A and B are shown apart, each in its own frame.
Chain A
Amino acid sequence: MLNFKELPAVKKQLMKCVRCGKCRSVCPVFEEIKNETVAPRGHVFMVQMLRDGQVAPSRQVGEHLSNCLLCETCTVNCPSGIDIHELNAAARSYVYDKNKNAAKDLLFDKFWTNPSLIAAGVKCMSFAQKLGLQTLFRNIGLTKLLPGDLSKAEKILTSAPSRSARSRLAPVNAAKKDKKLRIGYFLGCATNVLYPDVALATVKVLVNNGCEVIIPENLKCYGLPHIANGKIGAARELMIHNIKEFQKYDPDYIITDCASCSSALESKNLEFLFAGSPYEESARQLSEKVMDLCVLLIEVLNIKIPEGSRASEKEPSPKITYHDPCHLVNAQGVSKAPRELLQRIPGAEYREMDLAQRCCGGSGTFSLTHYDLSMKILDRKMKSAQKTGADIIATNCPSCIMQLKHGVRLHNLSAQVKHPVEIISDFY
């Protein structure tokens, strides 16, 4: 296991910070609190202090570092090329490792990953946040153990539908008309449990566009909870299992409709998990096939949405706006395809919102642990969305969907929050 101080980001990148402050200008948390203790460059500084032993890895340091959404906005804007969010996550994890005793922290053990897996872990962490909070809230009564904000924050959670997507979908879904592609569908846990309609829509739209869609039955979680619990070996085993599952079917592409899933499956993370192992090559091949659903629909399939065959005619010509999930726009640089897709919807009017790329403040457990702050960030998002007059706020990440739905309720808006594919599936 790599020691915190030996992590490549910590070793190589810390000194690259020029302290220019450019990251102050883009950070959604800084925008609200406006003092240096929450500035991204402040986090970089604190990580350096930790590494150099100038501060002890106390829980207080952990709390400071946790004033961050891991939204990666600072990272993509840092002219020096520093993975600021990764440094932050690495340091939190290190601090956490040294302070495992409190009951509250023990729960967060589920979310905080082992330092040696930070590159994978950052993505996983946010995902674990989403996955973990659902499971934990319902199964082990997290609310009772956590103070303050959390009783308010509970309202963010919508109850999960009784039937998961997996129980409603066949493992192999034949293409309607001529088959063009064989698609492996990496059905993420949050979509599966919380938003099964998104999964159903995904399959419907793909099969109607000449895709055979395979949802490997034995597909397991990509190892996240295991990574989060330090069982890296087990996590690798699971991923190897998944690789083998997909290999059985040899899909042309592996798609996900969840921004966090695709970002966790991207090459950088898989490389990290498998570097030097016999599975390195298979993992690389897998990651090369991974693609966000919207990108596939636009860049590969170049779909034309059939006019006039709309199943429901409730909103005759909807006005649609789009919110960029951080894990899609910042982590993967995907912003054009979802917009293009929405603009192709017959009769719909696309309206860009101001600062569509600004984080919605959800970021999994952040909205629970920092409820008031998260709501301030959400307020800005809801105002931008409202200003467009849109009937539908589209976004493609379960965590964002959850947060935006909460925003709609809080602000008494009439807009609906939907995954783009849900809107499109109405036309098939």
Chain B
Amino acid sequence: MEISAIKSELIKILGKDKVLTDDLDLMYYSYDSSFLTKLHPKAPYAVVMPRSTGEVQKVTRFAYENNIKIVPRGAGTGETGGCIALEGGIVFDLSSWNDIDEIDAANMQVIVRPGVIHAELNKELNKKNLFFPPDPGSSLMCTIGGMVANNASGLRAVKYGCTEQYILGLEIVLPNGEIIKTGGQKTKCIKNVSGLNLNKLMVGSEGVLGIITQIRLRCWPKPKARGIAMAVFDDLDQAPAAVLDVYQSGILPSGIEILDSSAISAVNQYKPEINLPRAEAILLFEVDGNPPSVDYEGSLIKEIAGKRAVSVEWATDPQRMNELWEGRSVTATAAARVRADGTRVFAGEDIAVPLDKVADTLRQIRALAAKYDILVVNYGHIGDGNVHTAPVINPEVPEEVEKVQQLVHEIHLLAIELQGSTTGEHGVGAVRRQYAELEHGPAVKYMQGVKSVFDDKGLMNPGKLF
């Protein structure tokens, strides 16, 4: 089908207000947060903005009948090119479909549409003393649909895990237009082992199996108290060791984050009022729970981390805690501040390694960065071995682009060599699919087989995952 015909058909199906067809408008859908699409933006044939399952179904059927590729998109904060129509096709922008259908506090669950923003959801849940614990750095902008598709997690994964642990059920429109519900057709229970676990299959499927149109999420009671210990190190190696010490003491903090010296400087440049101390590394330990246990764990962490750290600050003042936590949350972007003529690029940024290899990993990343003469900012969820490396380069200098690509390739290989993974939470998308065979071997064939069951024509978000 001609692209112009696709456009006019889509307008017939959804009406003009829910379809973008103009070439200029479409250009805005040629990027997400990935370095890949910064270098090679790719616009779709058309963008649709459906607001009901029926509308998604109509467009999906039309695409299926006419062999047109389709790509779901949330807020476009993914770092892998996952929501980009790299092979052409129709993009479904689901970010404006942001209804919270029901907060069922008695049953500790919430039912939402895919475009609800993570932070907005928690704002609403908070009114009922509930929360959805996974806490990505992109909380203010990413959608729940995108989080489910990427199995996102974040600063609190140490204790609360990833999105997958909270999925009770999903409504999905399959590429052929069929609608299925995973996790039970009608159930509202929170414990359920009936049937093959399609919830788990769909979470983290990065939009290659179907379009998620409704999500039933498990919520947790909001802890009454919270505190943050900031441990300051003059030797980078001591920080991962302190994390292991804290675990050994029997404490499970709700978050353990690391910032290296460049990350510290980036945060201070973005918000001078946060005023982090200059150091080789900082660890932020967040503990939550009821007030006496938070105090107890806080003082224990202070004592244990204090053995390796030069100082430990224990903060329970809400303003200070928010500053510290926000400072860490924005590091991903604020990293761009450390070089006046540079920016951070999202490439090779998300490896995960076993806990006892974190120190080694950080050391080797620094060596690689020195080898390629590239400034890197290291930060991340050290509590679960998820290290974010932010290379800061001038993307308008071709040699730097070339060098950074070699650097990130080596970082990915390093992760695999150290018994880690190329991605702890951001996903594979288009940028890490080259490592699928190396990471998963023959299992990849079965992954492809699963995909073909759902997507017999290979129309659903092609060019991603494997």
Binding site for B on A (CB under 8 A): 12, 15-22, 24-25, 34-37, 39, 42, 45-46, 49, 55, 60-61, 64, 78-81
Contacts and interface: CB of A to CB of B under 8 A. Distances in A.
Nearest to B91: A36
A80 B95 contact: no
Given A35-B96, A64-B24, A45 B31 contact: yes
Given A21-B75, A21-B141, A45 B28 contact: yes
B140 A18 contact: no
A35 B93 contact: yes
Interface in B192-250: none
Contacts of B343: 15-18, 80
Given A18-B343, A35-B20, 18 more contacts: A17-B343, A18-B333, A19-B33, A19-B76, A20-B141, A21-B75, A22-B330, A22-B333, A25-B140, A25-B141, A35-B95, A37-B25, A45-B28, A78-B333, A79-B333, A79-B334, A80-B337, A81-B269
A155 B395 CA distance: 48
Interface of B: 20, 24-25, 27-29, 31-33, 37-38, 41, 47, 49, 75-77, 93, 95-96, 98, 117, 119, 138, 140-142, 269-270, 330, 332-334, 336-337, 340-346, 394-396
B31 A46 contact: no
Contact of B29 (A15, A17, A36, A55): A36
A36 B344 contact: no
B117 A39 contact: no
16 contacts: A15-B396, A16-B336, A16-B342, A18-B332, A19-B37, A20-B332, A22-B330, A24-B75, A24-B141, A25-B141, A35-B47, A37-B20, A46-B28, A78-B333, A80-B336, A81-B336
Determine chain B's interface SS by DSSP, over half rule. Answer: loop
A46 B24 CA distance: 9
A410 B384 CA distance: 54
Nearest to A58: B24
A34 B334 contact: no
Contacts of B119: 25
Nearest to A20: B333
A404 B335 CA distance: 39
A21 B77 contact: yes
B75 A55 contact: no
Contacts of B394: 15
A20 B31 contact: no
A16 B342 CA distance: 6
A17 B138 CA distance: 15
B28 A37 contact: yes
Contacts of B140: 22, 25
A358 to B, nearest CB: 15
Contacts of B20: 35, 37
Contacts of B117: 25
Contacts of A25: 117, 119, 140-141
Contact of A20 (B33, B269, B270, B341): B33
B33 A55 contact: no
B49 A18 contact: no
Contacts of A46: 27-28
Contacts of B341: 12
- Closest 4 pairs (CB-CB, A-B): A79-B333, A34-B96, A80-B336, A79-B334
Contacts of A55: 24, 27
A16 B343 CA distance: 5
Contacts of A80: 333-334, 336-337, 343-344
Nearest to A34: B96
A22 B396 CA distance: 23
Contacts of A39: 28
A16 B344 CA distance: 8
Residue in A17, A20, A42, A46 whose Cβ sees the most chain B Cβ within 10 Å: A20
Nearest to B390: A18
A15 B343 CA distance: 7
Given A18-B33, A22-B141, A22-B330, A35 B49 contact: yes
Nearest to B33: A19
A83 to B, nearest CB: 14
Contacts of B332: 18, 20, 79
Contacts of A34: 95-96, 98
B377 to A, nearest CB: 12
Contacts of B342: 16
Contacts of B76: 19, 21, 36
Given A18-B336, A22-B333, A79-B334, A36 B396 contact: no
Contacts of A21: 33, 75-77, 138, 141-142
A330 to B, nearest CB: 15
A367 B330 CA distance: 33
Nearest to A54: B27
A416 to B, nearest CB: 32
A81 B138 contact: no
Contact of B31 (A12, A19, A79): A19
B25 to A, nearest CB: 5
A80 B334 CA distance: 5
A71 to B, nearest CB: 18
A22 B333 CA distance: 9
Contacts of A12: 340-341
A45 B29 CA distance: 10
Contacts of B47: 35
A18 B37 CA distance: 11
Contact of B270 (A17, A19, A49, A81): A81
A165 to B, nearest CB: 38
Nearest to B47: A35
Contacts of B344: 18, 80
B27 A81 contact: no
A12 B342 CA distance: 9
Contacts of B95: 34-35
A297 B314 CA distance: 38
B336 A79 contact: yes
Nearest to B34: A19
Given A19-B33, A55-B27, A81-B337, A36 B330 contact: no
A127 B24 CA distance: 30
